[in-house]
Structure 1
Amino acid sequence: MSTQNASLDFTATSIKTTTVRNAGFDALRACLTLLVVFHHCAITYGAIGGWYYHEVAPNKSLESVVLVLFCTVNQAFFMGLFFFLAGHYSSRSIDRKGPGRFIADRFLRLGVPLLVYGFLIGPATIALAQTGRGHSFAGTLVSLLRKGTFENGPMWFAQALLIFSIAAALWNIAFSRLVDHKMNRSAPKLIPSNQMLFVAALLTGMAALALRSKWPVGINVWGLQLGYFASYVVLYAAGCCTARSHWIERLPERQIRLWWRVALIALPVLPLVYFMGGYLHALRGRPLAIVYAFWEPFVAWGTILFLASVFQRRFETLVGVWQPLSRRAYAIYIVHPPVLVAVALAWRNVPAAPLLKFVITGSVACALCYLVAGLVLRLPKLASVL
């Protein structure tokens, strides 16, 4: 292919990806949202993690171990992938709207739902979960509202993304003052090499280790688990920096294969070290924390590239249920806590294996969230925000 033809191909791709929504990414975000529901459902029935309602405490049973592994692997990549996609679209949105309008839009679409969840939905979910312990829903809710309780719950993501968005907009303002806008447009566009991805994974692991020495996993600071934020910051920044090159939309096949193999090779390392720690005390504590910190980015990079590629190949357009599911994804994310807790409570006294309950409760909750989100989006004012 000649240089001129290659240039024309790149221009055509740029125009297409700038003006048309990426159906693959929309479908991917919808699936990630449903995965969030199942993630919290796993914690309900025996996995480790913070959640409103725990029906089965984590234990050494095979079912609990499976659910813990499920959540651990999810944690390595799924929220980071959300942040990467958010960064990818943030860069384009800032270019299109300008920093001021972009920030105003972020306050509307992230800040308003965060406040509604924090002061209303979150406390209502806490009160609902407390009914499982015999407490009054109305009494608990009134008490929480009177105290002005703010419960961000899963909306910590909106809180963090709002902070990241403001930082990205301010960076854009500062950068545009130093470099002429036209020069910025014609500047080389970042396409990460394998060496760059490797170094980024190492630095992310080091940063995670440093953060967790100050704020261990499970410790919240203003509702945020800062121990996980190394990868979140790196992936959001990567999404912003690679947006103009459309790298994630035109991933080299060899790069995908390489990093997917890396992820698959790395995947069993953490469980192996953890189980060996039951026999070798030297692998417990700090050594396991070090392995965990570096394990996450190497699993995340390959999984993110693989999923981005698969979904883009699979979805050129959204048809059937995929279109409404994609449109409802954000609303599903917001309403899923009370729905999931309610479904779990509805049959808590029914004896059944935790894994079976995990599958049934998660599936029913996803279906109900889909329906509730559809009703919410019928209200024009809410639809304009969500």
Structure 2
Amino acid sequence: MTSPIHVEEVPRHAGIDIVRVIMTMLVILHHTAITYGGSGGWFWREQPNASNPLLVMFNAINQSYFMGVFFLLAGYYTPRSFDRKGPGHYLADRLVRLGIPLLTFFFLLYPLTVALADSTTPAGVVDGWLRGIADGPHGPGPLWFAIALLIFAFVYAAWRSMWPRPRPVAPTIMLPPRRMILVAIVAVGAAAFAVRLVIPVGQEILWLQLGYFPSYIMLFAAGAAAAPGRLLERVTSQDARPWLVLAAVSLASLPLVVVMQGSAGGFEGGLNFNALYYAFWEPCVATGVILGLLAWANRRQRTAGPVTKWLAAGAFGAFIFHPPLVVALSVLASPWMAAPLIKFLAVGMAACGASFAVAGIARALPLVRRVI
């Protein structure tokens, strides 16, 4: 069994923390967009059958990379945590920091969010929430991410127990060559296409949309491989430039494909052109956007000020608390006669502020702060 290793503490990278905060806000905006006509499933829509082309495009682009960033960063911080704590302490820590928020959302916040969506009065919300706690419905909502990370943590621990990393590690200090990154893009696209032949996008198994998991697995593994040499903190604009071009070309192609190939099958999966295109389109966009974000984060030495530290510390809490806040604010704004895009911006920004504020208040409690 692997024992804990003395690992020197490394200061957090302020630029990467900012990226994590931005991605958390993007998750909140993504779910707010669904409320006003974006694509995807959510607890409450102002007009159930409405579809706004701009918000649909916004959500499609987000989906290609934003959760991938979280998996990449989770993988990046895993080896150091594992080495510092040892397998037993590492897994216990993951069960606490991921399991408690997951159970809290499953049994408390999910019924609250459903009650907010279904009720129009405070008394109705309370009554619906209490009934929901007792009888359901229950679910992980966006905390499916915690389920995935728990699975990845146990797989990583098992892998490290079978193939311990040699010590001392001689870390790579250069990014993989472009041809290797291109091979990874092709492999993810091919794997996604194959998985979606059986499990299309939108279909869940144990609350997980496995159609997206080829990229999540690859990014988590890439983050773990990049950790010894701290490669994510070495990405430059020059490294990102060719992949940003690929992402730009891919993004420009999407409206054309939607218009010209509308009858070529569903994008969500199947043996058709659209499913094949979408499976490869996603990693092309994700690679460019993620490397571009990292290059931006590394462009100059960034020091974390008090606001950045506060936001970064509350990012996971904001992720946990945002669903009932988005729904509550959306329901409150429903009488407001404004264009969907205006309401999306107003409610989305209010939900971002409220989510981080509630997370900050919750983290003032010592027991909560130990978890999130």
Q: TM-score, normalised by structure 2?
A: 0.92
Q: Larger deviation: 35-44 or 51-60?
A: 51-60
Asked whether 1:182 is paired with 2:164, we answer: no
Paired AA for residue 171 in structure 1: W
Asked whether the equivalents of residues 339 and 369 of structure 1 are also in contact (C-alpha less than 8 Å), the reply is yes
Note the alpha carbon deviations across 1:78-134, whole angstroms, 9 max, x for none.
000100011000111112212221111111110111011111111111111111599
Q: Distance in 1 between matches of 2:357 and 2:88?
A: 35
Q: Partners in 1 of 2:161 and 2:40 — Cα distance?
A: 39
Task: State the partner residue of 1:11.
Answer: none
Report what 1:150 is aligned to: 138
Match of 1:20 in 2: 11
2:176 maps to: 192
Q: Quote how far apart the aligned CAs of 1:150 are.
A: 2.7
Cα shift at 1:252: 4.6
CA shift for structure 1 position 329: 0.6
Alignment-derived partner of residue 77 in structure 2: 89
- Give CA deviations for 1:239-281 in whole Å, capped at 9, x if unaligned: 0111112221112543211111111111122221012134xx3
Structure with greater proportional helix content = 1
Question: Equivalent residue for 1:329?
Answer: 315
Q: CA deviation at 1:287?
A: 1.1
Residues 300 and 175 from structure 1, CA distance in 2 versus in 1: closer, same or farther, beyond 3 angstroms? Answer: same
Unaligned stretches of 5+ residues in structure 2 = 1-6
Shift of 1:315: 5.8
| 2:116 equivalent to 1:128 | yes
Question: Does structure 2 conserve the Cα–Cα contact (< 8 Å) formed by 1:204 and 1:294?
Answer: yes
> In the alignment, is the contact (CA less than 8 A) between 1:24 and 1:311 conserved in 2?
yes
What is the aligned counterpart of 1:53 among 37, 44, 57? 44
Residue 162 of structure 1 is matched in structure 2 by 150
Compared with structure 1, are the counterparts of its residues 283 and 144 closer, same or farther at alpha carbon in structure 2 (3 Å cutoff)? closer
Identity of matched residues, %: 41
Q: Does 1:310 align with 2:310?
A: no
* Partner residue in 2 for 1:110: 98
Q: Could you tell me how far 1:283 is from its partner in structure 2?
A: 6.3
- Contact (CA 8 Å) 1:155, 1:334: kept in 2 or not? yes
Structure 1 residues 300 and 58: alpha-carbon distance in aligned structure 2, compared to 1, 3 A threshold: farther
The amino acid that maps onto 2:185 is A
Instruction: Find the aligned partners of 1:341 and 1:190 in 2 and give their Cα distance.
Output: 45
Q: Deviations over 1:327-360 (max 9, x none)?
A: 1111111100011111111120121100000000
Q: In structure 1, what is the Cα distance between the partners aligned to 2:79 and 2:27?
A: 25
1:37 aligns with 2:28: yes
Against the structure 1 CA distance between its residues 186 and 322, is the aligned structure 2 distance closer, same or farther, given a 3 Å change threshold? Answer: closer
Query: Are the counterparts in 2 of residues 89 and 240 from structure 1 also a CA contact under 8 Å?
Result: yes
Contact 1:87 1:236 in 2 (8 A): yes
Residues 190-217 of structure 1: per-residue CA shift (max 9 Å, x gap):
8421111101111101111111111111
- 1:350 equivalent to 2:341? Answer no
SS of structure 1 residue aligned to 2:273: helix
Paired residues, number: 362
Instruction: Pick from 326, 333, 338 the counterpart of residue 340 of structure 1.
Output: 326
Q: For 1:350-383, what per-residue CA distance to the aligned partner results, in whole angstroms no more than 9, with x for missing partners?
A: 2110000000000111111122111101100001
Structure 1 residues 128 and 255, CA gap change in structure 2 (3 angstroms): same
| Cα root mean square deviation, aligned | 2.2
1:231 correspondence with 2:219: no
- In structure 1, the gaps of 5 or more residues are 1-14
Q: Deviations over 1:31-71 (max 9, x none)?
A: 110111100000000011111111134546xxx00000000
Given that residues 89 and 243 in structure 1 are in contact (C-alpha distance below 8 angstroms), is that contact kept between their aligned partners in structure 2? yes
What's the CA shift for 1:289? Answer: 1.0
Q: Within the alignment, does 1:378 sit opposite 2:369 as a pair? A: no
**1:138 matched to which residue of 2?**
126
Structure-1 residue corresponding to 2:187? 203
Letter in 2 for 1:247: L
Partner residue, 2:280: 294
* Alpha-carbon distance change, 32 to 187 in structure 1, aligned in 2, over 3 angstroms: closer
Contact 1:59-1:65 at 8 Å conserved across structures = no
Offset, 1:168: 0.9
